[in-house]
Amino acid sequence: MKVKTLPILLAFLVMGVADAMGPMSNAVQDNYELSAVMATLLSFFVFIAFAAFSVPGGLLAARIGKKNLLLLGLGLNAVAMLIPCLIEPGFALLLGCIFVLGIGTTLLQVAGNPLMRDVSAEGNYGRNLSLAQGFKGIGSTLSSWIVGGTALAGVAVLAKMGWRGVFPIFFILMAGAFVLVLFLKIDEAKADVPPSIGSSLGLLKKPVFALAVLGIFLYVGAEASMGRFLLPQMRAAFHVKYNVTAPVKDIDDALDAATKVEAAKSADEGTAMDAAELATAQADLAKVAPDELERAKQALSKASKFGPALFFLLLTIGRLLGGVVLNVMSPRNFFRLSAALGLAGAALLIFGNTALSIVGVVLGGLGFANIWPMLFSITVEEDPDRGSELSGLMCMAISGGAIVPLVMGKLVDVGLNSKSFLVPVACFAFLLVLSLKGPSKSAEPAA
């Protein structure tokens, strides 16, 4: 690995900060006394930035250079993180900062993916991009952990800042990455003619690029669907195993009531439950028999452990291991293997069986892990000089993460439940077919 790749890997690491806006919503909701809908605007604004600025970001990268666009993204992110460090912003100003963070992260994605090719040794692009996505996964995990608050408890100055204590950490990371990239010398691949929006969208007229963008759209949608519906699916499977028959709504009400009653027992007089609240809690507890409620707790614990937590852990591990696998396997063959594993994993979830579901999560996590870096690197190798435009188009396809889960949600609403995993199965069936397609030009792309 070239030393030049290290600052770019750090840039991928800080991309994960944007993923922490979802977990941060709870603290923001409490601080500003917001509704749940208003609090979710934090992550919504990040998504809107991706949808609006991906293609323009690709055009800008082609004109000012990918390194300069990366610096612009890091600079915007640093400013967005600095403001909440200095003052406690109003909610509107905070949303503005998060929107700027979304724009900056969009530019990092648009510039960082093709820039990794420019700093990689010949033949190492796919491997390094897979490793970079692993770093992004680590950044997402660490950022969410920091937002959780326990990491700040031992640092007095940050703990005193309350929910804002995470921003100085994020600012230092952004500023550090900015400095390292600033002094990096890169020989960038550039287009002969400055692109326009028309010429960028014109790339979609070529089937190889249109299919790749559709593939990214479906992949991100499938991954978002797994993140959204995997826990309910695993919970239902463990309910069968633990012989839990009560409705999920009644179980959730009883679990919530048990938590409130337990908290009230240790609360002081100023926070104890009043008679009406206690009566409501006891009524909710009565909906589920005590022994069944205990089994439901065990089922939920197992579902959390073997559902999303395991899936995203394997997603990160798979991306980190991807670089090792690519030492002995070509990107195209690895793409095929990943698509096949992802398809098999999603298919096993359809049956609703506990053992098959756990195997499905394992196969799915490992299969989903390297679809993005493999498909991205293979596509850019088709026309490296237009890598910035292709990056913008493929980053725009991240919008699949908002649309595909809606389709799966509709199937869940009509009662298909585990059968709704036909949606990610269909997405990965397309990706498997796409992976079997050979390169569009005679020369094999760099491995």
The answer to whether the pTM exceeds 0.85 is no
pLDDT over threshold 60, residue 269:
no
Neighbours of 280 (CB within 10 A): 14
- Name the residue with higher pLDDT: 147 or 72: 72
pLDDT over threshold 60, residue 43:
yes
Give the closest residue to 346 by CA, choosing from 359, 362, 360, 356: 360
Q: What is the mean pLDDT of residues 431-435?
A: 96
Q: 153 φ, ψ to 5°?
A: -60, -30
Q: What is the mean pLDDT of residues 429-433?
A: 97
- Poorest-pLDDT segment among 120-134, 263-277, 402-416: 263-277
- Residue 333 tokens, joined: 């063959």
Split at pLDDT 50, 70, 90, the class of 442 is very low
Split at pLDDT 50, 70, 90, the class of 349 is very high
pLDDT over threshold 80, residue 11:
yes
**Single-letter amino acid, residue 101:** L
Residues 6+ apart with CB under 8 A from 43: 21, 22, 25
- Poorest-pLDDT segment among 147-161, 214-228, 281-295, 420-434: 147-161
Do 431 and 362 form a contact (C-beta atoms < 8 A)?
no
Q: How far is CA 219 from the centre of its chain?
A: 12
Give the closest residue to 134 by CA, choosing from 126, 388, 328, 102: 126
CA gap 391, 57 in Å, rounded: 9
Q: What is the mean pLDDT of the chain?
A: 86
Specify the pLDDT at position 268. 53
pLDDT, one tens digit per residue, over 351-394 is: 999 999 999 999 999 999 999 999 988 998 888 888 888 888 99
**Single-letter amino acid, residue 205:** K
pLDDT over threshold 90, residue 161:
no
Sign of CA dihedral 269, 271, 275, 278: negative
Specify the pLDDT at position 443. 39
Give the closest residue to 24 by CA, choosing from 140, 175, 155: 140
CA gap 178, 11 in Å, rounded: 8
Looking up tokens 């709704």, which residue turns up? 420
Specify the pLDDT at position 85. 92
Do 310 and 366 form a contact (C-beta atoms < 8 A)?
no
pLDDT, one tens digit per residue, over 102-159 is: 999 999 999 998 898 888 887 788 888 888 888 888 887 777 677 765 556 567 777 7
Specify the pLDDT at position 177. 94
pLDDT over threshold 50, residue 429:
yes
pLDDT over threshold 80, residue 18:
yes
Split at pLDDT 50, 70, 90, the class of 447 is very low
- Poorest-pLDDT segment among 75-79, 82-86, 411-415: 411-415
CA gap 307, 421 in Å, rounded: 14
